[in-house]
Amino acid sequence: METHSQSEQDQEKLYYPIGEVATIFGVNTSLIRFWEKEFEVLKPKKNKKGNRLFTREDMANLRLIYHLVKERGYTLDGAKKVLNGKREEVDKQVELRNALTGLRSFLVELKDQL
C-alpha cells in the first residue's frame, strides 16, 4: 500500500478552507479575510455556503504576503508595491529562505543522530 507524505497531499489539494489556511500560517482567520480585502491578488472561491476556498495560487500569494508583512516587516502599502513590481525577486527570496530553512532542519536532525 502506497502512502503519501503531508507535502505530497498538500500538492494534490486543489482548495484550502480558510481555517486550514490560518493554521498553516499561524494567524487568525480574521487576518486572512483582512488580507483578502487589501490584496487584489487574493481571490478565493466561495462555495454555496459562502465559505472561502483558497487555491494553490492564493496560497502562493499568501506565502509572499506573509513573508513581506510578518517576516520582513513591510507595511501593507509596501507589500502591495513589491507584489506589483518586484514579484520575481520576492519569489526567489522566499524560495531561498524556505530551502535554507529546510537545509538547516536537515542538518540539525543529522547532528542529533550523531
Instruction: Report domain extents, the chain.
Output: 6-113
CA distance 113 to 12: 32
* Residue 39 scores a pLDDT above 50: yes
For the chain, state the CA radius of gyration.
16
Q: Which helix (H) or strand (E) holds 16?
A: strand 16-17
- Which residues, in sequence order, are bridge partners of residue 54? 16
* The CATH classification of domain 6-113, taken from the options 1.40.20.10, 3.90.1150.10, 1.10.1660.10, 3.40.50.720: 1.10.1660.10
As a whole number, the mean pLDDT across the chain is: 84
* Residue 32 scores a pLDDT above 70: yes
Percent of the chain predicted with pLDDT > 70: 83
C-alpha cell at 89: 525577486
- DSSP string of 64-113, one letter each residue: HHHIIIIIS---HHHHHHHHHHSHHHHHHHHHHHHHHHHHHHHHHHHHHH
pTM of the model: 0.65
